[in-house]
Amino acid sequence: MRDRNQLLRPESLRVLVTGATSGVGEATAKLFAARGATVALLGRRPEELRRVADEIGGGSHTIVADVANAESVVSGVRGAIHMLGGLDVAVNAAGIAGYFALQDLSSRRWNEVLATNLSGTFYVSREAGLHMRKAGGGAIVNVASDLAVMGVPGLAHYCAAKAGVVGLTKALALELAPHVRVNAVCPGPIDTPMLRAGLATEPDPVQALQQKEGTVPLNRLADPREVAVAIYFLAVEGTFATGTSMAFDGGTSAA
């Protein structure tokens, strides 16, 4: 059993990051690695996993898995534990979205988003959390959203999934206490490939970007690296935080 105080030393951390091939997941994996941690990158796209691993350099491992598939998660998390020699931090950053008006929101699209964003977070947290509890300590950080507490037309599936992540975070924090801390970060609009892809479908992507920025009181999008800093804080430095959902949204949920 590891001394829980040792978990605060960045160079000793063994970290699993899902959704590690782009956006917040990629930025988080790179931040932990830059601070000395050994990182397992989990995602669905082998070529992108290799790219991120190459950019990180030494101290990283790649795991091809789909968080929406429970069996894939069990295999992936256990593989990460084997590669890293244990697990101290798990970051659930895998996510998908897509705008669909209610009449276009089919059961298939609904289930796809909930399977990745909510069920995937549960599968990883269950497997990682039970291992950490048995090992004596650890931290889980879930990437939720400001839309966990806000509604947006066309994103009913995403709002529901992220609200579920916040509720899941609270329940797991109580069940895994006192050894494993579980928290969530709730970002506002982030300048990620996923967001840019959505804007590209608009008739005027530039105007759509300006409108999106205008919804944020700070009048800009978040950089994924800013969100990674918040995740790192909750995982490593915020040692008295568990069951919390940190608003990190440029003020979008303040109104």
Catalytic residue among 99, 123, 158, 232: 158
Q: Residue 139 and residue 61: Cα distance in Å, rounded? A: 19
Show the tokens assigned to 43.
């995602």
| Residue 222 near residue 188, CB atoms below 8 Å | yes
The sign of the torsion formed by the CA atoms of 121, 184, 41, 86 equals negative
* 158 catalytically annotated: yes
**6-to-136, 173, 177, 249 alpha-carbon distances in Å:** 11, 20, 18, 31
Residue 84, H or E segment: helix 70-84
Ramachandran assignment for 98, one of left (phi > 0), alpha (psi -120 to 50 degrees), beta (any other) = left
How is residue 222 annotated by DSSP?
B
| Residue 191 near residue 209, CB atoms below 8 Å | no
Buried b (16+ CB within 10 A) or exposed e, 160-192: bbbbbbbebbbebbeebeeebbbbbbbbbbbbb
The residues annotated with a catalytic role in the active site are 158
